[in-house]
Amino acid sequence: MVGSRLESLAQALLDSIGPRLTGSPGMERAQDWAVRTLRGWGVEARLEEYGTWEGWERGSSHIDLVAPRMRSLEGRLLAWSPGTGGRPMEASVAFLPQIESEVDWQAFLESVSEKWVMLSFPQPTCRPDAQWVQFQSDGSGLRMAQARQEASQMWGRSLQVAGAGGGTGGIHRALEAAGAVGIVTSDWPGAPGTTRVFDADNRETPTFELSCEDYGLVHRLAANGQNPIVRLTAEAENRGEVPVFNVIGEIRGTELPDEYVMLSAHFDSWDGSSGATDNGTGSVLMLEVMRILGTVYPSPRRTLLIGLWSGEEQGLNGSRAFTEDHPEVIQGLQVLWNQDNGTGRVVNMSAHGFVEAGGSIATWLAQVPAEVSADIDLALPGSPGGGGSDYASFVCWGAPGFNLGALPWDYSTHTWHSNRDTYDKVVFDDLRNNAVLAASLAYLAAEDPQPVSRRQRTVITGRGGGPGEWPACRPAQRSSPNAP
């Protein structure tokens, strides 16, 4: 697409600004940048406060194995974990043994004082199963898969016994009370060099993650009585409860200004990487679409909105708050288009249980260039189901919100919530395709003389005492669980 700004938008957001953890300075910088960018294109844009969240800022960190040999380890402090004040913290290592009873758990707790405790399953191999299948000899791949499954199940049973009644958070609190220095984790999704990076369940002692390979190394040393000592040096600042915002942009409609076509993407990310495909790509896509529409369609029939949401990773809080604060948008919404699952071409769409909306969607798709729309699988009438992204916040109110589902590009194993979700994973040819699609759909929906039907096959709102099957249908959480 000639004149595309996708590359420059993505580079500025992902490389220069970087991770966008809710309540972090990185998110604040990103939101200021988005507002300035939209205003630079002549779009009215604002930050809209919806609550507070526990603010946290990552500093530098370093993890080293110092005995029985020296090695710098690949890993990082988990979000919202306390650091070490920039001072090195050295300790030996304890690992979760087989726990079959409360007696076993209490005995283990007596052994963890002044130690790092390894709580994740140690993978027997960091080669993906596909490699074992491809190169196996005499059933070695099958044997490895069985060994991995059996060991994982045994570890899971031990964790279940240890956490009886309190879950993972209860385990962490018990370890802290027993004098553990901190927690070591590793969440390997099955791709070489990749770990998932979430937040720390405990907030009193440091929690850090290691790569699959380095976690296995330290665990084997401990299991074989070779007395590993690990040193963590990490800086982090808890900022207390800080205001959190959504970015809202608007091009006012000329004929039906109180009816809305909305572009939607969550702007926040986990901070183990730069959040490229979750959800930097969806965000720059919707920014680019707003730029295109502002240029070629400056006087839309209906009002065009863009919502770049905060707090999606904490439970769709930004978009849920917006739907609660803006009943006029819910009432006047013609359609919302959301994108949140990676960098690939859009190939899946659903009417999400709006039984008569399929006619509108199909009519619009028929007018989109064939090279853009030909491979889209449209599920009609579809099902409300899932509720895993911000469109669900609108569906909960009976407003037509639809997700643009993309080709995976190994999303679940390589980029989603991982330390490898970086600019280089973006597939710009596919994003340009999606920009044409989303801009076309937004234009056609804004011009359509017919409103989109809101008749649903299943009432799933749960508001006001209804069934409430979706977590997305609960009221927005407007402060963090740790708020005073």
> For 225-281, how does the pLDDT look when each residue is reduced to its tens digit (9 = 90+)?
999 999 999 999 999 999 999 999 999 999 999 999 999 999 999 999 999 999 999
Q: Buried b vs exposed e over 419-434: b needs ≥16 C-beta within 10 Å? A: bbbbbebbbbebbbbb
Q: Are residues 52 and 79 in the same domain?
A: no
Residues 272 and 392 in one domain: yes
What is the average pLDDT value for the chain, to the nearest integer?
94
> Does 212 lie in the same domain as 151?
yes
Respond yes or no on whether the N-terminal peptide bond of residue 68 is cis (omega within 30° of 0): yes
Domain harbouring 307, CATH code: 3.40.630.10
User: pLDDT tens digits for 392-442?
Assistant: 999 999 999 999 999 999 999 999 999 999 999 999 999 999 999 999 999
Q: Is residue 479 part of a domain?
A: no
Confidence class of residue 467 from pLDDT cuts 50, 70 and 90?
Answer: very low
Across the range 142-155, mean pLDDT stands at: 93
Model pLDDT for residues 51-87, shown as the tens digit of each residue: 999 999 999 999 999 999 999 999 999 999 999 998 9
Whichever domain contains 201, its CATH number is: 3.50.30
Q: In the listed set 177, 200, 227, which residue is the last one of a domain according to the structure? A: 227
Write the DSSP string, 272-319. SS--IIIIIHHHHHHHHHHHHHHHH-SS-SEEEEEEEES-GGGTSHHH
d(CA 442, CA 253): 13
Residue 37 shares a structural domain with residue 150: no
Range of the domain at 129: 69-227
State how beta strands 115-118 and 182-185 pair.
Answer: parallel
For residue 36, give both structure tokens: 């300035």
pLDDT at 384 (0 to 100) = 80
CB 267 within 8 Å of CB 309: yes
Quote the pLDDT of residue 383: 85
The answer to whether residue 481 sits within a structural domain is no
Whether 483 maps to a domain, the answer reads: no
Question: Is 469 found in the same domain as 333?
Answer: yes
User: Residue 482: inside a domain, yes or no?
Assistant: no
Q: Which residues contact 361 (CB under 8 A, 6 or more apart)?
A: 349, 351, 378, 380, 402
pLDDT of 395 reads: 93
Q: Which of 100-104, 429-433, 465-469 has the lowest mean pLDDT?
A: 465-469
Task: Name the one residue in this structure whose structure tokens are 């758990």.
Answer: 105
Per-residue pLDDT, 133: 87
- Same domain for 312 and 219: no
Question: 201 and 342 in one domain?
Answer: no
Same domain, 341 and 410: yes
Is residue 323 in some structural domain?
yes
Query: Is 233 contained in some domain?
Result: no
Same domain, 223 and 246: no
d(CA 240, CA 221): 38
Is 165 inside a domain boundary? Answer: yes
Query: Where does the pLDDT of residue 473 fall: very low under 50, low under 70, confident under 90, or very high at 90 and above?
Result: confident
Q: Choose one of 192, 227, 262: the last residue of a domain.
A: 227
11 and 87 fall within a common domain: no
Same domain, 168 and 317: no
pLDDT bucket at 165, cuts 50 / 70 / 90: low
In the chain, the number of structural domains is 2
Calpha distance 43→2 (Å, rounded): 21
Question: Is residue 308 domain-resident?
Answer: yes
Distance CA 365, CA 384 (A): 21
Res 466: pLDDT = 38
Cα 261 to Cα 305: distance, rounded to the nearest angstrom: 6
Instruction: Give the pLDDT mean for 207-211.
Output: 97
Cis peptide before 279 (omega within 30 of 0): yes
- Segment 293-305 mean pLDDT: 98
Q: Are residues 109 and 251 in the same domain?
A: no
Write out pLDDT tens, residues 28-59. 999 999 999 999 999 999 999 999 999 999 99
Out of 172, 200, 227, a domain closes at: 227
Spatial separation of the C-alpha atoms in residues 177 and 191, rounded to whole Å: 35
